[in-house]
Amino acid sequence: MGHSADGDSAATDFLSFADIAVDTTAERLPGIDRSAMQMVLLLHRVASSIVYDLESTVHRPAGWSWSAFRLLFTLWVAGPRESRQVAHLSGMSRAAVSSLTKTLSASGLLARRSDERDRRAAILSLTARGADALETTFRAHNEREARWASLISEDELATLNGVLTKLARAAQGQEWISRRA
């Protein structure tokens, strides 16, 4: 018999629900790939938990959303870029980048100018204030990342990073994977 998914168990929370979901699904749909389901559920749930933690403890106190941090960090790493490239590199929609550009420009963190080669395109860049704010906030962000990483051993962390890198590289060459355009 499977786990109770009704929330009565004190051990059932957002992260542990993945185990219950895999067991229940396998009971109801024999033949599913349990390992693949567990990988995707756990990756999603752990990533969501980390993002929520970072956003609530670092980014919101800095006055940003997770998306604003992603946009600013992308520009900090990649340098000035056309807004479509920023959307692609940050994994956000062009509409989200456009909306955030207005907000971040108004707050003096981001500059927007027309592309000389294509007046319809916008080149985005960090202002000096934006770069300073990103660097300050990233230090707090990285301290929180280190706390998450400390939950496992150094060897486990190296293994996890290796496996995730392998998965990311393997996925890049797969035509069947849907991606943002």
Q: What percent of the chain has pLDDT over 90?
A: 78
pLDDT of residue 179: 76
Q: Is 126 contained in some domain?
A: yes
pLDDT band with cut points at 50, 70 and 90 for residue 13: confident
pLDDT over 60 at 11, yes or no: no
pLDDT of residue 114: 84
* Residues 21 and 74 reside in one and the same domain: no
pLDDT of residue 84: 92
Indicate the DSSP class of residue 153.
-
pLDDT of residue 137: 97
Q: Quick: pLDDT tens for 52-94.
A: 999 999 999 999 999 999 999 999 999 999 999 999 999 999 9
Q: What percent of the chain has pLDDT over 70?
A: 93
114 vs 92, 121, 125, CA distance in Å? 21, 6, 11
Q: Is 164 contained in some domain?
A: no
* Residues 132 and 81 reside in one and the same domain: yes
> How many CA atoms within 13 Å lie on the side-chain side of 14?
9
* Residues 89 and 49 reside in one and the same domain: no
The average confidence (pLDDT) of the chain is 90
pLDDT over 80 at 120, yes or no: no
Q: Which one, of 157, 92, 149, 148, lies nearest residue 124 by Cα?
A: 92
pLDDT band with cut points at 50, 70 and 90 for residue 181: low
Domain end, chosen from 40, 61, 82, is at: 61
pLDDT of residue 5: 47
Q: Is 179 contained in some domain?
A: no
Interacting residues of 142 by C-beta distance below 8 A, sequence separation 6+: none
User: By residue range, what is the domain housing residue 94?
Assistant: 66-137
Q: Is 104 contained in some domain?
A: yes
Residues 15-23 have a mean pLDDT of 88
* Residues 76 and 98 reside in one and the same domain: yes
Q: Is 169 contained in some domain?
A: no
* Residues 88 and 120 reside in one and the same domain: yes
pLDDT of residue 8: 53
Give the residue, 156 or 3, on which the prediction is more confident. 156
Distance of alpha carbon 150 from alpha carbon 42, whole angstroms: 18
Instruction: Please state the pTM of the whole predicted model.
Output: 0.84
* Residues 52 and 82 reside in one and the same domain: no
CATH number at residue 120: 1.10.10.10
96 neighbors 87 (Cβ within 8 angstroms)? yes
What's the number of domains the chain is made of? 2
